[in-house]
Each structure stands twice: as C-alpha cells, then as structure tokens.
C-alpha cells in the first residue's frame, strides 16, 4: 500500500533537539503564557530554566529545550514572539557554534568503600564538592547534557542519589550579541 505524500514528507523530516531562548519582561504571568503556548499546541518542554538577566530593565531569559523539526521550532519561535511582553526569541540548534551547559547538584548517600568509590567518580568527572559528611556528600556537576547523564548513571548504581538539575542553558559563540528592537544588548 502506498503512503500519501504527507506521510512520506513527515517521515523524511528530522526531529532534533533545539533550545529556544526568549527574553521577556520579568513580571507575573509571563512564564505561564510562554509555557502555556507550548502545552496548548502539544509541544513538549524537555527542560526549562528562567532567571532575571537585567535587573535595571527587569528582563528575564527563558531557556526551553524541546524536540521537533526545524519547521515546528520556527513556528514555536514565531508564536512566542507574538506574546506580550516578549522582546526577542532565538533558536539554538545543537551544534558547534553554540555552548550548552547544565548544572546538577547531586547528593550521594553511602558508607565505607562505596562512598570512596563514588567520591572518585566525582573527582574523575571534575565535580566540585559542596558538602561532605561521613555518610554523604553533595557535588556540583557542570557540563553538556550527555556528560551529566553519563555521570549520574555511573554514580546511581553505587547507592542512594538525589538530583537537582537546571536544564539546558545556551549561548552562541563569538562576539555577536543579541539585541532587542531598540538595539540594546540582551
């Protein structure tokens, strides 16, 4: 049985991970509107990180990791940009032109040799120790998503682990800056 042209076209489109960054006014309800746009249209949010980046202008940066085709992500960009008060929306594909990082805080519980083995895994993965007791420690792991995932897999098999992660953060390499409609750097 032959497939329709629509089905064939859909199968050929590549679904990839993208990071969508929106610079918005830091005010009540903006995050709900942006995340509501995603859920209302059936787009999944893999991770979401938000923080004020310009206190004087009251601008926050919303960073959302999502999966989709290039066309779908462009549609997301256009729809988010229509929301008020969004100043700018950029898409960062996963490539060598962009720096991506995630932060994870990991608490490990264990004793004796198991605890020492877990500490060595943390040292090997260049984690920063933030707290140590005779039966636990907390480390900060910083790296690409896959690096954090691999580290967590290694340490989880050794004992009890509690994890807190930021999700994706992204910034384009080079001297080019992102500017709003007034020409101010975001």
Provide block-wise average pLDDT over 10 residues at a time, the chain (186 residues): 38 80 95 91 91 95 92 90 91 88 96 96 98 97 95 95 94 86 82
Biggest CA-to-CA distance, the chain: 66
Specify the pLDDT at position 7. 40
Q: 135 lies in a domain?
A: yes
Specify the pLDDT at position 9. 44
Residues 70 and 147 in one domain: no
Q: 144 lies in a domain?
A: yes
Q: 58 lies in a domain?
A: yes
Specify the pLDDT at position 12. 52
- CA dihedral of 186, 82, 70, 97, whole degrees rounded to 10: 0
Specify the pLDDT at position 185. 86
Residues 34 and 10 in one domain: yes
pTM: 0.83
Residues 80 and 42 in one domain: yes
């Amino acid at each position: 049985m032959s497939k329709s042209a629509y089905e064939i076209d859909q199968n050929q489109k590549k679904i990839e991970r993208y990071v969508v960054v929106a610079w918005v006014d830091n005010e009540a309800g903006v995050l709900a509107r942006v995340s509501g746009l995603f859920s209302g249209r059936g787009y999944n949010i893999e991770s979401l990180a938000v923080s004020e980046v310009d206190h004087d202008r009251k601008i926050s940066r919303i960073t959302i990791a999502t999966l989709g085709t290039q066309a779908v992500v462009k549609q997301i960009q256009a729809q988010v940009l229509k929301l008020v008060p969004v100043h700018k929306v950029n898409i960062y594909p996963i490539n060598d032109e962009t720096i991506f990082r995630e932060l994870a805080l990991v608490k490990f519980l264990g004793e004796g040799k198991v605890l020492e083995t877990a500490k060595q895994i943390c040292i090997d993965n260049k984690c920063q120790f933030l707290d140590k007791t005779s039966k636990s420690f907390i480390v900060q792991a910083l790296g690409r998503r896959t690096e954090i995932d691999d580290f967590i897999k290694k340490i989880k098999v050794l004992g009890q682990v509690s994890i807190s992660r930021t999700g994706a953060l992204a910034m384009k390499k080079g001297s080019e800056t992102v500017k709003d409609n007034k020409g101010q750097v975001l």
